[in-house]
Structure 1
């Protein structure tokens, strides 16, 4: 299943946008070619949202991100402005995620609870567990990576626009996708780290709940 998701991600987020840009640039013009190239990713994200039933904080964040990005793209008016505005949108989401850390409600905490819910655990119980002092720093770490992804992505895209311009949209698309893969891997490592901290906490909790064998003998 994971292999299929990777293939679909490559198809809808990279291959189809590239083909639409490449063959649509001349008949449609830069702006409409770039705008149309975002359609496969938009439709794919909506379908995945519905199929995976992500009607939660994670799903809402994805939908709001998608809506804002698409609205800004449509209102931009020309290709160069659209690329520039996408930089501001990315930076804006990065700052928003950073803000959730400042107000002590790291976004990754709720993402983790949504993942646990899909595995059959109550969100309230997961959130209570994740807020333990030995576990919570891991979710701040993951949230920080999410924030960096937005901010670094904005900086990288700004640089690439300056280097390649609108005509190099295909190269910008490729480098941004690679950037997404790098941060995706870091986020995965972050969640693995949080899982290890959760397991460690639960094992210690179980040890504390089980009476010492010597004490059991004394009670008898």
Structure 2
């Protein structure tokens, strides 16, 4: 438990450095000599490299990993093609809404990405993907992954709305506030989503206990 807490604390510090502190520093001190667009573009490099590092260090090419790395390259491509700092920020809003659309679709077709993320995690714990998938689609368990999927949608809409508000209120000059607020909001939703993921162990355990009880009665 102590080791896990120390790892989590280290990840929080690393996230803060590469996703907020370094981008803020580059933007603040590179804006005048480099211009808004170049400074904003360069400020995304620490987060890009850190995400690539995290992806390959984990050495697990799963659905969550593929989606994460795909989103990273798509976001970087859009940034490079934006042409200006303001357009880059607006494009990030549109891209965020595109991801929200994907989450909405998977929710309504009853194939929530949250469930497949949980399958990936269970696989890392030594459970077969097929077994976990069948288990998570069981009645009483599946609905919790739909709830998490709704939170993904709410998070995406909130993040997009926050960017739009800051853009309209401060323009490109609000980029530094955007970095801080985005990181804080990301932590908030991360804790909320992580908490529900953790709670899914309760209905899963209840289902498994019922199954064991039924088998004992049959025998």
Residue number in structure 2 paired with 1:48:
54
- Number of corresponding residues: 213
**Separation of aligned partners in 1, 2:163 and 2:203:** 35
- How far 1:134 sits from its partner (Å)? 1.0
- How far 1:33 sits from its partner (Å)? 0.6
- How far 1:54 sits from its partner (Å)? 3.0
**Separation of aligned partners in 2, 1:154 and 1:5:** 25
Residue number in structure 1 paired with 2:147:
141
**Residue of structure 2 aligned with 1:155, choices 155, 161, 166:** 161
- How far 1:204 sits from its partner (Å)? 1.8
Structure 2 spans left out of the alignment, 5+ residues: 1-6
Query: What per-residue deviation string (whole Å, max 9, x for no partner) do you get for residues 57-101 of structure 1?
Result: 000110111111111111000000001110001111011111111
**Separation of aligned partners in 2, 1:181 and 1:68:** 23
Contact 1:95 1:151 in 2 (8 A): no
- How far 1:102 sits from its partner (Å)? 1.2
**Residue of structure 2 aligned with 1:18, choices 14, 24, 36:** 24
**Residue of structure 2 aligned with 1:200, choices 197, 203, 206:** 206
TM-score (norm. length: structure 1): 0.93
Aligned runs of 1:1-220 on 2, under 5 Å? Answer: 1-211=7-217
TM-score (norm. length: structure 2): 0.94
Structure 1 spans left out of the alignment, 5+ residues: none
**Separation of aligned partners in 2, 1:149 and 1:94:** 9
**In terms of Rg, which structure is larger?**
1
1:113 match: secondary structure: helix
Moved over 6 A (4+): none
Query: What per-residue deviation string (whole Å, max 9, x for no partner) do you get for residues 112-165 of structure 1?
Result: 000001111111110000000110000111111112211211111101111121
